[in-house]
Structure 1
């Protein structure tokens, strides 16, 4: 058990890292994922543990969590409640599995309910809604490739409804600590963060990440303007008192506000690049994404793996929809294809 003062490059190192009195960061491994790990935060008090997020329901993550809690002279039986920032499997599914075994309480943002209910449908093909959307966005060949990859997969039993639903303004009390629930739609419709104003900590999930930008526009039930939602959520968090950033992926950093400002600037520049691509003749989201560069290495769309190409196209669509909402572009649907043009 060590203090969380390591370099940003080693944040995925297994262990139990104290980030504040009574709060520990526990990185859990992710299978076949470029992010490599997800941070779960353990809040300890005399009457038990509360965990922010839970990790992916895979054997390696469970073993790492057991080892970390052992360092705190605890076990998963001491966990009273999971506070889950959003429904993605690397945050939610281990909580579902542990609840089946031990019966602890699991809580999730109310805005996640539509996507979670679709995901739980036994008749649903994997990524069905996203593949339909890719075809609408001009990425039919990419959708066909993904369909071949996912065809025949047996639905996993990782999804269940939570015990209760968070709404903005809710408070969670644990010992003398109060966490304020803040609704932050964007990465998903029901994403929430937990703000401990007394200790100046923000448990940010995937809303504010220190080294990467959260994906926008990838979920079964989309809002009409997911990037607009995300920027509005960033503004809401920016209006709150500054705090240490406790992200789901990446190292702990000193200031939420500083990173929010960087994310807003990034998306402002990306909106301009997207508008220029349309002005130069790109019409579909796929065509626009093909003219942009991706990741810090400035890769072309075709250099990304299939899954990240899908994320790139859907995120481009989110930028295009915001440009339409701002009156900078127009949109028209014809023959199952959505096209954009300069206003």
Structure 2
């Protein structure tokens, strides 16, 4: 039985406000359980043009289980997948992008994506090995055995079809205004989770409105940082800067990609900032206690609500933990709280109290 915490992931249609519907689509092999896509439609539900056509914010993962649930939930509104004419995708991860591209091939719908994702799309289509940037980051973190484990894991896994990562029909820019499902949306660039992540601000409603937040602001978990094919340094700084920008705007209802709808973006942003402040302090303390590499520091702190030790987690989550630790160490070095030096022979980053 699904606990109340995970009730949001049940494959059941939720009408958030008239004309905006939350459709949770399954991720059967993923700890996230489901991804929310949001249908924006005229309040009478009929497909029409002139900005009132059916639009989905995010598309889901291109797997049969997701496709079946999407068709069933749309059917409850008297609609079919072919009635969706546009996808506004928050970022390039396959649980958001791949099904939008697949349905475009079948029905001719248009797909829009943030312009900052262009390099990641090119990278995922052209590289021979998966998670190249991540395994290189693990090597710099001193986690050579984990990097080897990840490379073996990727080699044994089925590669995503390259056709799922073709370019969108439209590259979105910060501040761009969109008409979707009879509503008025504004694109906001929110780099951090990925460099090209965008959110969509609904400025239609008479009150403070809604934020289609993708993975930038999640109600139950802290988003992974810089997990993308073309990863570069500075992801945590970009993420915290993006959070601050949203916090400076009027508060809005939070419509996340994973988790239930929540009444306040500001409340959750404050919690995320506090989490990262606490994590920076914990990591600085671990360096002061003698931790040198990101691997050593990650092993000295605890992970998730269950307070896991690094060695208690599976390969993928250990990789994320070490890379997140390194991102925090990068910020601490920029703040002058630790010294960060790269070994000239190995390239491994070492840290010491400033």
TM-score relative to the length of structure 1 = 0.95
Q: Which moved more, 1:42-51 or 1:59-68?
A: 42-51
Residue in structure 1 matching 2:26, options 25, 29, 44? 29
Q: Which moved more, 1:82-91 or 1:148-157?
A: 148-157
Question: Aligned pair 1:338/2:343, yes or no?
Answer: no
- State the partner residue of 1:3: none
2-structure distance, mates of 1:235, 1:154: 38
- State the partner residue of 2:331: 322
Residue in structure 2 matching 1:124, options 121, 128, 145? 128
Question: Aligned pair 1:81/2:86, yes or no?
Answer: yes
2-structure distance, mates of 1:241, 1:325: 30
1-structure distance, mates of 2:156, 2:10: 35
2-structure distance, mates of 1:213, 1:175: 30
Question: Aligned pair 1:187/2:184, yes or no?
Answer: no
Q: Which moved more, 1:78-87 or 1:322-331?
A: 322-331
Change (3 A) 1:102 1:279: same
Shift of residue 190, structure 1, vs aligned partner: 0.6
Give the number of aligned pairs.
Answer: 337
Output one character per residue of 1:305-328: Cα deviation in whole Å (capped at 9) or x when no partner.
Answer: 110000101111111111111111
2-structure distance, mates of 1:28, 1:133: 32
1-structure distance, mates of 2:181, 2:14: 20
Q: Is the 8 A contact 1:217 1:317 kept in 2?
A: no
- State the partner residue of 1:133: 137
Residue in structure 2 matching 1:213, options 213, 222, 226? 222
Moved over 6 A (4+): none
- State the partner residue of 1:243: 252
What aligned pairs does 1:1-343 form with structure 2 within 5 A after superposition?
Answer: 8-45=5-42, 46=46, 47=48, 48-121=53-126, 123-151=127-155, 153=157, 155-157=159-161, 158-199=164-205, 200-334=209-343, 335-343=346-354
Shift of residue 146, structure 1, vs aligned partner: 1.5
1-structure distance, mates of 2:305, 2:112: 35
1-structure distance, mates of 2:91, 2:324: 18
Q: Which moved more, 1:197-206 or 1:246-255?
A: 197-206
Shift of residue 153, structure 1, vs aligned partner: 4.7
Output one character per residue of 1:230-271: Cα deviation in whole Å (capped at 9) or x when no partner.
Answer: 110001011111111100000111100000001001100100
Secondary structure of the residue aligned to 1:151 is helix
Q: Is the 8 A contact 1:197 1:241 kept in 2?
A: no
- Structure 1: gaps of 5 or more residues: 1-5
Secondary structure of the residue aligned to 1:143 is helix
2-structure distance, mates of 1:41, 1:110: 21
Q: Is the 8 A contact 1:197 1:243 kept in 2?
A: no
- Structure 2: gaps of 5 or more residues: none
2-structure distance, mates of 1:306, 1:337: 20
Q: Which moved more, 1:328-337 or 1:205-214?
A: 328-337
1-structure distance, mates of 2:38, 2:301: 36
Shift of residue 223, structure 1, vs aligned partner: 3.4
1-structure distance, mates of 2:313, 2:5: 24
Output one character per residue of 1:13-33: Cα deviation in whole Å (capped at 9) or x when no partner.
Answer: 112110011000000000311
Output one character per residue of 1:287-319: Cα deviation in whole Å (capped at 9) or x when no partner.
Answer: 111011000011100111110000101111111
RMSD value over aligned CA atoms?
A: 1.4
1-structure distance, mates of 2:143, 2:28: 27
Q: Is the 8 A contact 2:40 2:181 kept in 1?
A: no
